[in-house]
Amino acid sequence: MGCITSKNAVSIRPTLDNNNSSNQRGLDLSKVNVGNSGRRRSGKEFERDCEFDDSWRRGPEVNGTKDLCLPLSNIHNYIEAEQVAAGWPSWISSVAAEAIQGLVPLQASEYKKMEMIGQGTYSEVFKTVHHDTGKMFAMKKVRFDSNEPESVKFMAREIQVLRRLNHPNVIGLEGVIVSQYVKTIYLVFEYMDHDIAGLISRHKFSEPQVKCYMRQLLSGLEHCHSKSVMHRDIKCANLLVNDSGCLKIADFGLARYYSSAQKQPLTSRVVTLWYRPPELILGSTNYEESVDLWSVGCVFAELFLRKPILDGRTEIEQLHRIFKLCGSPPEDYWKNIKMPNASVFKSRCHHEGNLKKICKDLPNYAVNLIEKLLSVNSKKRGTASDALHSLYFITKPYEANPSSLPKYPPTKEMDAQILNRAAQLLSDQRAAEEANSQAKDIYTKKPPHGCINFSGPLQIPSSSGFEWAKKTRESNAFIRPSYENSYYPLARNTVANSEDQHRNGSPRNKQLFLNREEPFGEKHAAFIQKMQSRRHADSFHNFDNGLKKKTDVNGVTNGMSSNSSDYHGDEESKVDFSGPLLCQTHEVNELLENHEQRIGKAMRKLLFKR
Ligand SMILES: Nc1ncnc2c1ncn2[C@@H]1O[C@H](COP(=O)(O)OP(=O)(O)OP(=O)(O)O)[C@@H](O)[C@H]1O
C-alpha cells in the first residue's frame, strides 16, 4: 500500500462517468474525488486503482490519454484540499489520505454514545444510538499516534480493507467520525449483540448451531480471501453474532492485502497466540491466507469443547502443544522450511498427535475437518471454499437456520472477562484470608526470622531432594502470594473456564503455595518433578525461559523476569516459578496490612472498570 507521499510523481487520469454517488455501504461520495477534468470517481473505483494498479502514481499513462504529471507536493496538496472540502480535518488527510479517499465523514453530533461494550489492544468500543433513526451502532475508538507510522498504517489499513469487503458475514463499516482537533478516530459499525467468546463462556452450542456458525464463518472468510484480504486475527472474540443468529467477522485491524503474484515479506507477529499457526511461530514471512484457516480450525474445536484447544502461554509452549495435538512434522518439514526460528524451536521428541483422542466425542466429519484445518503443513489446509464443500456440511445433523438459533441476553468477551476477574478476585480474596490466618497461626506459634514473599521465579536446587521444603517449614518462613504479578496472559481472560485458569498456572499454583499443609507435601513434590521432567522430555531448550514470559492480548510475548539475574548458578539445578523470590523481615502485621490494601486496590480497579 504505502503512503501517498512516498512517490515522486503521479498521474491523474481523467474519469468518464458521473454516476457513482454512493458506494455499496451507502456512503456519500458525491462531494469528493473530483478529478482535474471535473469527473467524479467512486471510492471503490479509486481504491481499486490504488491497490493493484499503482500506475496512477507512477507517471504519464500509456493508453493515449494525455495525463497531467504533477510534482508530489502539488498532488498531495490537491488531495488534502479535496478531502478538507469534504469535511475531513487536515490532520487525518495528511496521515491517511488513501484510506478516507472518496468518503464523507459522519458527524459525531448525530450519535449518542452509550456504555463501553468492548476493549481491545488498540481500541475501545462503545454502543451508540443514532438520534434520528434510533438505530444502534458500535463505535470503535481507535487509538493511534500519528507520529508513529506503524499505528497509522494499521488504522488506515483497517478502513481500506473494510471498505473493500461487502458480505453478510463480514462486519459492515457504516462510516468514520473524526475529531477536528484531537487526533481521535471512530469507526462506526453495525451493532452486534454478542461475540462468540462471550457466548461460549455461558452456553453450550448444539451440533446444528456449530455447523451454522461454521458455515457463516467460512463464507465470510471465503469472501475476504476472494478479495485478497487475509484477516490475520481470527478468534472467537472477533466473531460477532446478532440476535438474528447472523455471524460476522470483525476486527480487521491486522488484516492486509496479499497477492500471490507480487509476494512481499510479511510480519509474522500477527494472530493471537492461541490461534496462531506454527509457520508464524516459526517466523515465516511469506505465508498465505492459509494462516486464517488454521485459526478457523482452532475456533471450530473451541465451539465444541468450550475452551481453547491450544492455549500455550508462550510461543515455545504453543508450538509444543501444537505438535502434541497435531503430531510432530516429518524431518522433511524442517529441511524444507526456511524459517528463522526453526532450529530454535525444533523438538527432539516425536509426537504422534492426540487430536482424535481429545475430540473423541465430536462428530467424525467435524474431527476430519478440524484435522485438515489444523495441518501443520499449511499447504494441506485447503481453502475456505474447500472446507465449505467438505462432507461435514452435507451430513446430518444439518446446520440450523440462523433465525432459529436461541436468543441470548447480550454477552461479550468483555462480560466474560469481568466475570472471570470477579471470580478470580473472590478466589484470591479467599486464598488471601486463608493465607493470613495461616500466617497468624504460624506467627503465634513461633515468630519467624524472616518470611518469604512468594511471587516469582523461585530457584530451588533440585539436588536437595526437596530438603529445602522441609527446611522452610521448620524455619517457619511463610509464603505469601503476590497479586500484582499475576501470570495470566490477558487473552486468557477470554474464556470463563476455571479449568483453564487452573491450567494457566496462577490460581492453582498460588493455592498450592498458599495452603500451609499442601505445598510441601506430595502434591508439591509432584508438581516440581513434573516441571523438571517436562523440561527434559520436551527438549525445548527455551521452555523454562518461555515460561517466564508474559503473553499479551495479541499473543506477543514480552520478556518478563527473564534477565540473567534471575538465574543463579547451574541452570539444570533450578526449578523456576513465576515472580521474584524476596526475603523480607517485615512485621507480619505490616505485611498483612499491605496485603489487604492490594486486595482493596484490585477491587476498586474492577469496580471502576465496570
Ligand atoms: N460491531 C460491533 N458490535 C458490537 N460489539 C462490537 C463490535 N465491534 C467490536 N465489538 C466488541 O468490541 C470488542 C473489541 O473490538 P475489536 O476486536 O474490533 O477491537 P481490537 O482493539 O482490534 O481488539 P483486539 O485487540 O482484541 O484484537 C470485540 O471483542 C466485541 O466484543
pLDDT digits (tens, 9 = 90+) for 183-196: 789 999 999 999 99
Helix axes 290-305, 364-373, angle to 10 degrees: 140
Whether 165 and 204 map to the same domain: the answer is: no
Average of per-residue pLDDT across 464-471? 29
**Most distant CA atoms of the chain, gap in Å:** 97
In a domain, 515, yes or no: no
Answer yes or no: are the C-beta atoms of 344 and 539 closer than 8 Å. no
Cell numbers at 393, concatenated: 456440511
CATH of the domain at 146: 3.30.200.20
Binding residues for ATP: 140
Q: How many Å apart are CA 373 and CA 376, to the nearest integer?
A: 9
CB neighbours of 147 closer than 8 A, spacing ≥ 6? none
Distance from the alpha carbon of residue 119 to the mean position of ligand 1, in angstroms: 6
Q: Kindly give, in sequence order, each residue whose CB lies less than 8 Å from that of residue 578, ignoring residues fewer than 6 positions away.
A: 455, 456, 457, 485, 487, 505, 506, 509, 547, 548, 561
Of 382, 414, 446, the domain-final residue: 414
Is the pLDDT at 62 greater than 80? The verdict is no
Residue among 418, 467, 408, 498 nearest 203 (CA):
408
Closest CA to 535 of 525, 545, 550, 520: 545
Q: What pLDDT is stored for residue 259 in this prediction? A: 86
User: Which secondary-structure segment (H or E) carries 369?
Assistant: helix 364-373
- Tell me, what's the pLDDT at 248? 98
Considering the domain boundaries, does residue 530 fall inside one? Answer: no
Q: b or e along 161-191 (b: 16 or more beta carbons within 10 Å of the residue's beta carbon)?
A: bbbbbebebbbbbbbbbbeeeebebbbbbbb
Looking at the fold, whether 314 and 382 belong to one and the same domain comes out as: yes
Query: 233 an active-site residue?
Result: yes
Is the preceding omega at residue 208 within 30 degrees of 0, hence cis?
A: no
In a domain? residue 216? yes
Is a pLDDT exceeding 70 seen at residue 534? no
Place of cell 514473599: 453
Q: Which residue has the higher pLDDT, 76 or 586?
A: 76
Distance 125 CA to ligand 1 centre (A): 6
337: in domain: yes
CA 399 to chain centre: 28
| 292 to 296, 317, 384: CA distances (angstroms) | 6, 21, 9
DSSP H or E run through 467? helix 467-474
* 3-state SS class at 135: coil
Same domain flag for 293 and 318: yes
| Residue 439 is assigned to a structural domain of this protein | no
Q: How far apart are CA 557 and CA 543, in angstroms?
A: 13
pLDDT at 506: 32
pLDDT the model gives residue 180: 78
The continuous run of DSSP H or E covering 129 comes out as strand 123-130
> Does one domain contain both 116 and 255?
no
Summarize pLDDT for 415-442 with one digit per residue, the tens. 666 666 666 777 777 776 766 666 555 4
Residues 362 and 223 in one domain: yes
The grid coordinates of residue 273 equal 497466540
pLDDT at 129 over 60: yes
Q: Is residue 318 part of a domain?
A: yes
**What average pLDDT does the segment 123-143 reach?**
93
Dist CA 229 CA 429 (whole Å): 46
In a shared domain, residues 239 and 180? no
Angle at 170 between CA 305 and CA 254, to 5 degrees: 80
Question: Can you give the pLDDT at residue 30?
Answer: 35
Please check whether residue 417 is in contact with residue 490, taking contact to mean a CB–CB distance below 8 angstroms: no
Q: What is the pLDDT of residues 238-289, one digit of tens each?
A: 999 999 999 999 999 999 999 878 788 999 999 999 999 999 999 999 999 9
Q: By mean pLDDT, which of 26-40, 89-103, 127-141, 381-395 is the weakest?
A: 26-40
Residue nearest to atom 23 of ligand 1 (CA): 120
Looking at residue 198, its pLDDT comes to 92
For residue 190, the model assigns a pLDDT of: 95
Q: Specify the range with the lowest mean pLDDT, choosing from 31-40, 93-102, 148-157, 269-278.
A: 31-40
* Residue 366 CA, ligand 1 centroid: distance in Å: 28
What phi, psi does 235 have (nearest 5°)?
-160, 165
User: Tens digit of pLDDT for each residue in 480-520?
Assistant: 222 222 222 333 233 223 333 333 333 323 332 223 223 33
Q: Which residues line ligand 1 (CB under 6 A)?
A: 117-118, 120-123, 125, 138, 140, 171, 189-192, 195, 233, 237-238, 240, 250-251, 253, 412-414, 553
Q: Which three cell numbers stand for residue 330?
A: 516429518
- In a domain? residue 382: yes
**pLDDT digits over 357-389, tens only?**
999 999 999 999 999 999 999 999 999 999 999
pLDDT band of residue 414 (cuts 50, 70, 90) is low
Q: What is the 339 CA–ligand 1 centroid distance (Å)? A: 32
Q: SS3 for 81-124, per residue?
A: HHHHHCCCCHHHHHHHHHHHCCCCCCCHHHEEEEEEEEECCCEE
CA 203, CA 201: separation in Å to the nearest integer? 6
Residues 246 and 162 in one domain: no
φ, ψ of residue 241 to 5 degrees: the values are -135, 135
Pair (360, 227) in one structural domain = yes
What ipTM score was computed for the predicted complex, to two decimals? 0.96
Is pLDDT of 476 > 70?
no
Check residue 447 and give its pLDDT: 39
Residue 420, pLDDT score: 63
Asked if 270 and 406 sit in the same domain, the reply is yes
* Rg of the chain taking only CA atoms, in angstroms: 28
Question: Which grid cell sits at 158?
Answer: 483497517
User: Closest ligand 1 atom to the C-alpha of 414?
Assistant: 31
Q: Which of 268, 300, 299 minimizes the C-alpha distance to 285?
A: 268
- The answer on 183 and 204 residing in a single domain is no
Q: Which domain holds residue 234?
A: 194-414
Mean pLDDT calculated for residue range 550-569? 33
| Atom 5 (ligand 1) nearest CA | 192
Q: How far is CA 206 from the centre of its chain?
A: 26
Which pTM value belongs to this model? 0.62
Residue 270 contacts residue 284 (beta carbons within 8 Å): no
Q: Which of 414, 448, 481 represents a domain boundary (last residue)?
A: 414
Query: Which residue among 67, 193, 195, 233 is the active-site one?
Result: 233
Higher pLDDT, residue 65 or 433: 433
Q: Can you tell me the distance from the alpha carbon of 214 to that of 300, in angstroms, rounded to the nearest whole number?
A: 7
Which residues are 190's β-sheet partners? 137
Cα 8 from chain centre = 37
Q: Which atom of ligand 1 is nearest to the CA of 125?
A: 12
CATH number of the domain at 380, please.
Answer: 1.10.510.10
Residue ranges for the binding site? 140
Q: Which three cell numbers stand for residue 205?
A: 452450542
Percent of the chain with pLDDT over 70: 55
Q: How far apart are CA 519 and CA 528, in angstroms?
A: 10
Whether residues 144 and 262 share a domain: the answer is: no
Q: Looking at the structure, tell me whether residues 273 and 169 fall in a common domain.
A: no
Residue with CA at minimum distance from ligand 1 atom 27:
120
Give the pLDDT confidence score for residue 177 in this predicted structure.
94
Query: How many domains in the chain?
Result: 2
